[in-house]
Amino acid sequence: MVVEHVIVGLLCLSVCYAATPVGHLQPFGFHRPAGSFVKEFTLDNAPTPLEFSNNFVLPKNAAVFRGNLANEPELKHWTNDYIKSNYGELEVRLRALNESLPDPLGETHYGRDTIRHFVDNMPSSNSYVVSELPQQMYKEFPVIPTLVTCGGFPKHFAEVDIWWNGGGGTSLLHEDSFHQLSCQMIGEKQWKMVEPGYEDLVYEQVEDESEGGTDGGASEIDPLSVDLIKYPNISKVSWSNITMHPGDCLFIPRGYFHQVNSGRGNNLAVAIQFGEFGDDKSAVDFADCTGDIDMKTPKLLSEFDVMWKWNGSGYMNFGMPDLEHIRAEALKTVIECDKDCSLSTFERVCNNEQQHNWYRNCTTIFKTFDSDLDGKLTTKEVENATWEQLRVYGHEVSEFLEVNSVLFECTIISLREVKKLLKQEIGKYDYLTRKRWVTKYQRILAGSKFYGERIFTQLVGSEKTDKVRSKDIT
């Protein structure tokens, strides 16, 4: 009997040891059945803004708003044809579906495309749009009553983004630095949400400050094939499986880990990123939430101001900081400058601050905030500064991001390559024409027409000159 027990025990030990963990090398989520800790609402029982704040935003609980936009007439406008014919000229930011490839070339620039060109190329595209939503489209986007029927949430809308692909996009398991309300407009997405309290088990990447380093905020695991032997703690992670259909919105609190998979075919979501309030309940004002509040009617986003908007061309403000946070920073500088905050004192304090970018212009900052033009900055002036003033300050103090500009191409086509091609071309002919150069630049270096033109203009010193003698190029 005793011997038999030992044998059974040994057998179990070897079987248990050899067994691979459930869900090993399968997509994230196969390690254990999905839980149902994410609350779901319809328009009939959705929380009021104050309930939403107390039960979801402050304690950081996710929530699904099923079909809240389904009956809005604007939802019918979210088709490729409608968007292309009404907003086709506007530009959006473009990225490669394969994360290891650089941002692809759109109609005009690397990392940029016009909506028209993106729609026309969608069936064959290996790219997707992750961009600020052009503000011209705010009138097409209804916002759920829970966020906007009353209360001060709209005073904290930081940025509105559009995620758009032709099918099959996949994200890392990650968390974001703003709260967001993501609404599905076309197609379906599957969201895998990690239950709060399990963040320590997701193998978050260590933040790497160096060039090309990771931001932190994302898990090391491959979400399509999770190595549960290398990452055993994942087996314990409680998660929920949420499928989003057009007209549904999902609230994802700041710091909440999630992994997203787009379904097959055209897929578009719009996400409002809004402020982080910490434990500061007073940050959002609900004084107007009295009497009968209309919890049935969404309001169009165009009724509200957003901290960082985008008009479809020029410099994008993707990933800029919360204006209310940078107001607090500006206040610190003024407080440090104390009672005598004249231009010269302010400049001294401002230029002495650590970690500031080289192009910050403290004179511009001073002039921006000195609303009464008396040559003195007061804390009142900063406390009372408008978003327009804070945006100027935000641009001064934030890093310049190539991905937000049309200069991105400079970072992927090197000066050395351009020089080499130029040398070849002027070696071949007596004259170099603008047209030939641009064609070669596009064909050989896979550059954009925009940049080819720009290089030629720099070379000859004028936009009007289209031909230059090879001998004259040095």
Ligand X SMILES: *[C@@H]1O[C@H](CO)[C@@H](O)[C@H](O)[C@H]1NC(C)=O
Strand locations in 139-263, DSSP E? 142-143, 157-167, 179-186, 189-194, 239-244, 249-252, 258-262
Nearer residue to ligand X within complex by CB, 200 or 430: 200
- DSSP letter assigned to residue 162: E
Helices 362-369 and 323-337 pack at an angle, to 10 degrees, of 100
CB contact at 8 A, 145 and 241: no
Kindly state the helix (H) or strand (E) to which residue 18 belongs, with its residue range. Answer: helix 2-18
Per rule CB under 6 A, is residue 187 in the interface with ligand X?
no
Per rule CB under 6 A, is residue 407 in the interface with ligand X?
no
Binder of ligand X out of 20, 36, 45, 98 (CB under 6 A): 98
Site mask, ligand X, residues 219-238, x = CB under 6 A?
--------------x-----
Binder of ligand X out of 363, 411, 439, 462 (CB under 6 A): 363
Nearer residue to ligand X within complex by CB, 190 or 214: 190
Stretch that binds ligand X, among 37-45, 68-76, 97-105, 317-325 (CB under 6 A): 97-105
Stretch that binds ligand X, among 14-22, 75-83, 96-104, 155-163 (CB under 6 A): 96-104
Total residues at interface with ligand X (CB under 6 A): 22
Nearer residue to ligand X within complex by CB, 363 or 424: 363
Stretch that binds ligand X, among 169-177, 206-214, 362-370, 421-429 (CB under 6 A): 362-370
CB contact at 8 A, 68 and 46: yes
The span from the CA of 264 to the CA of 311, in Å, is 30
- Tokens representing residue 308 in the block: 């960082």
Per rule CB under 6 A, is residue 30 in the interface with ligand X?
yes
CB neighbour list of residue 326: distance below 8 Å, 6 or more residues apart: 390, 393, 394, 397
Amino acid identity of 250?
Answer: L
CB contact at 8 A, 369 and 393: yes
Nearer residue to ligand X within complex by CB, 245 or 419: 245
CB neighbour list of residue 425: distance below 8 Å, 6 or more residues apart: 432, 436, 437, 440
Q: For residue 98, count other CB atoms closer than 10 A to its CB.
A: 9
- Tokens representing residue 100 in the block: 């290891």
Stretch that binds ligand X, among 288-296, 305-313, 404-412, 442-450 (CB under 6 A): 305-313
Nearer residue to ligand X within complex by CB, 238 or 241: 241
Binder of ligand X out of 48, 80, 177, 190 (CB under 6 A): 190
Per rule CB under 6 A, is residue 290 in the interface with ligand X?
no
| Interface positions with ligand X (CB under 6 A) | 29-30, 34, 98, 100-101, 190, 200-201, 233, 241, 243, 311-314, 361, 363-364, 367, 380, 384
